[in-house]
Amino acid sequence: MAQRASKKSADPAANQASAQVVRDLHERMVRIRLFETEAGKLMEAGKLPGFLHLYVGQEAVAAGVMAALRDDDQITSTHRGHGHAVAKGVSFRHMYSELYGRVTGACLGRGGSMHINDVTLGMLGANGIVGAGVPIAVGAAFAAQYRGEDNIAVTFFGDGATNIGSFHEGANMAAILRLPVLFICENNGYAEFTPQSKHMLITDVAERAASYGMPSVIVDGMDALAVHEATVEAVARARAGEGPVFIEAKTYRYYDHQGVKGLRHPYRSQEEVEEWKARDAIDLLEARALADGTATRAELDDTWQRTRDEIAEAIAYAEASPLPDPADLLLNVYSG
C-alpha cells in the first residue's frame, strides 16, 4: 500500500519548516501563477500561436519538488510544463519569447509551449506526447548512475500517463536497476476531459508502483510544504543509491485542458472548480506564514509586485525580439 503523507505536514507547528523554505516555496508558486495568468491573457488576445496548457492550480507540486532539488538534478516535463520550467529557474524572458515564437526563446522560437527546455538548468524539456518524459528521465538517471555521480532525475506526468506503455517500461527499468529517479504523478483528476474513475479502477495511482517493488507516497498536492517534505525524503533515498520513489500529488487545474476557456466541453462543474480553489495552495501557504510569523504581509506582497514587474519586462522583451530567419530553418536539424 502507498504511504499517505498529506496529514504529516498539515500542522504548521509540526512542519518546523524554516522561513527560508517557506519564502522559497511562496516565490516559486507566485512566479508560476503570474506567468501562467499572463500567458493565458496573451493567448485569449490572440497574441500567442499554438496550444497552451496552463498550470494554474497545480503550483504547489512544481514548487515543492524543485525546492528540494539541486541545480544539476534533471527533470522531464509534460504538455503542461510551464510550471516546471519556471520552478526550475528558466527565465521569463526566454519562456515568453518561446511562446511568441521569437528567436530569443528557450528553443530559439522553434519549440513553442509544449517543448520548452533549458539543459543548462537540468530542464530536459516539456513534451507533447503523453508519458514520453518518463523514459528520458530514466535514461538521465541511468547516465548519472553509470558515471558514478550523485545527481538525480525527476519525471512529471499525469494520472492518464500511467496507462501508457512508456510509463510501465520506465518504472520497471528504474526499479530493477535501482536508478536515482523520482516519479511524480500530478493527479489533477482528469486525463484531458476524462475523469480518473472512467479510465482506471483504482483510486490511488500510487498503488501501481507496488507492482514494480517501488515505494510510493501520496501527498496533498495543494500543500507545498507536504510536497516538499515528501520530496526531500525521496531525494535523499535516491542519492543514497536506494532506488526510485513514486510520489502521487493530488492536485487540480483551475483552467480547462487547453487554454483558459478551452473547448467549452462540460466535463466538470463550476462548483467542483470552486471547491478546489477554496484550498488554493498559495493562499494556504500565505495563511500559514502569517499565522506563525514566517513572513509579513508586506514581504508577501513584495514578492507579488516584483514578479509582476519582471513579467511585464519579459513580455516587452519578447514582443520586441525578432522572429526566426527562414534562412536558418535547417540549423540544428539532423538526419541519421
pLDDT tens over the chain, length 336 residues: 577 654 444 444 434 458 899 999 999 999 999 999 999 999 999 999 888 999 999 999 999 999 999 999 999 999 999 999 999 999 999 999 999 999 999 999 989 999 999 999 999 999 999 999 999 999 999 999 999 999 999 999 999 999 999 999 999 999 999 999 999 999 999 898 888 999 999 999 999 999 999 999 999 999 999 999 999 999 999 999 999 999 999 999 999 888 887 666 788 899 999 999 999 999 999 999 999 999 999 999 999 999 999 999 999 999 999 999 999 888 877 766
pLDDT at residue 6 in the model: 43
| Three-state secondary structure string covering 195-245 | EHHHHCCCCCHHHHHHHHCCCEEEEECCCHHHHHHHHHHHHHHHHCCCCCE
Written as nine digits, the cell of 179 is 536508478
Please state at what angle helix 92-100 crosses helix 19-44, rounded to 10 degrees. 20
Q: Which residues contact 273 (CB under 8 A, 6 or more apart)?
A: 252, 254
Q: Which residue, 188, 250, 172, 201, is CA-closest to 56? A: 188
Q: What is the DSSP letter of 323?
A: P
Give residue 207's pLDDT: 96
DSSP string, 43-72: HHTT-S-S-----TT-HHHHHHHHTTS-TT
DSSP letter for 281, please: H
Count Cα neighbours of 263 within 13 Å in the Cβ-side half-sphere.
Answer: 10
DSSP for 92-148, please give it: HHHHHHHHHT-TTSTTTTSS-GGG--BGGGTB----SSTTTHHHHHHHHHHHHHHHT
pLDDT reported for residue 211 = 96
Amino acid residing at 330: L
Q: Of the candidates 17, 46, 7, which has an alpha carbon nearest to the alpha carbon of residue 232?
A: 17
**Residue from 28, 19, 21, 18 nearest 303 by CA:** 28
Q: Spell 235-255 as b/e; 16+ CB within 10 A means b.
A: bebbeeeebbbbbbbbbbbbb
Answer yes or no: are the C-beta atoms of 29 and 67 closer than 8 Å. Answer: no
Q: Strand 74-76 and strand 216-220: pairing?
A: unpaired
Q: Tell me whether residue 80 is exposed, middle or buried, using C-beta atoms within 10 angstroms of its C-beta: 0 to 12, 13 to 18, 19 or more.
A: buried
What is the 8-class DSSP label of residue 151? -
Cβ burial of 291 (10 Å; 0-12, 13-18, 19+) is exposed
